[in-house]
Amino acid sequence: MLIVETVINRYLALDPEMLDKLEVFSGKVIKLEIIGINKVLYMLPDGKCIQVSTEYEGEVDTTLRGTPMALFKMGIVSDAATLLLKGEVEISGDTRLGHQFKNVFSQMDIDWSEPLADIVGDTFAYQIQQSGKKIGGWGKDVIKSVSSSVSEYLQEESRDVITETELNIFNDDVDQLRDDVDRLQAKIKTLSK
């Protein structure tokens, strides 16, 4: 497990505040059940690093179970509710601890300029970082635009999905129908007496 542990700890070292964030997990054991490759990893964080082992004899505090891709996505997205609702990732044991542990990874704030500067120099690293920000912003805009276009197409053109207004009207009609049925039942009870 030395390779996995080294990779994880080098990644965590890119965020200078990460060690302080890991301190609250000191003494806890997080079990990762990786579906598809049938691997089990035990993560033992402390204030210095995360130890990774394939064997652990004691009780674990929380278990995270999912495919490698689902566990990776869970670590980088800010809201993992979708992954949990779809059943892509399961948390058992101390679920609060599992969510807190996941949040530490999703809140990582890595300044890539220093590692890049060590490789390519300060000037080029700055240019790469600025280009990355522009591409990232452009990518978010494209995703938002495509999402909006697909949503509009499905609601307005193909009529496969109803609009929020149509849903509200339908819900109001159902409420009205329920009230009418309740009144009819009350009248029938009154007439039958």
**What are the pLDDT digits (tens) for 100-149?**
776 666 665 555 566 666 677 777 767 776 777 777 677 777 777 777 77
Residue 8: is its pLDDT beyond 60?
A: yes
Residue 43: is its pLDDT beyond 60?
A: yes
Q: Specify the pLDDT at position 186.
A: 92
CA–CA dist 88, 80 (Å, integer): 10
Q: Regarding predicted confidence, which is higher, 129 or 61? A: 61
Q: Give the pLDDT band of residue 85 (cuts 50, 70, 90).
A: low
pTM higher than 0.85: no
Determine which helix (DSSP H) or strand (DSSP E) holds 103, and give its type and residue range: helix 95-106
Which residues on neighbouring strands pair with residue 33, listed in sequence order?
Answer: 40, 65
Mean pLDDT, residues 75-95: 65
Q: Give the pLDDT band of residue 181 (cuts 50, 70, 90).
A: very high
Structural domains in the chain plus CATH codes: 2-106 (3.30.1050.10), 113-192 (no CATH)
E strand segments, 72-184: 89-93
Q: Specify the pLDDT at position 86.
A: 60
Residue 62 contacts residue 95 (beta carbons within 8 Å) = yes
One DSSP character per residue, 28-93 reads --EEEEETTTTEEEEEEE-SS-EEEES---S--SEEEEE-HHHHHHHHH-S--HHHHHTTSEEEEE
Q: Could you tell me the two tokens for 9? A: 């700890």
Mean pLDDT of the chain: 75
CA–CA dist 168, 176 (Å, integer): 12
Residue 58: is its pLDDT beyond 80?
A: yes
pLDDT in tens, 16-39: 677 777 777 788 888 888 888 878
Q: Regarding predicted confidence, which is higher, 88 or 116? A: 88
Q: Could you tell me the two tokens for 115? A: 């590692």
Strands 39-45 and 89-93: unpaired
Q: Specify the pLDDT at position 1.
A: 52
CA–CA dist 13, 21 (Å, integer): 12
What's CA 189's distance to the chain center, in Å?
53
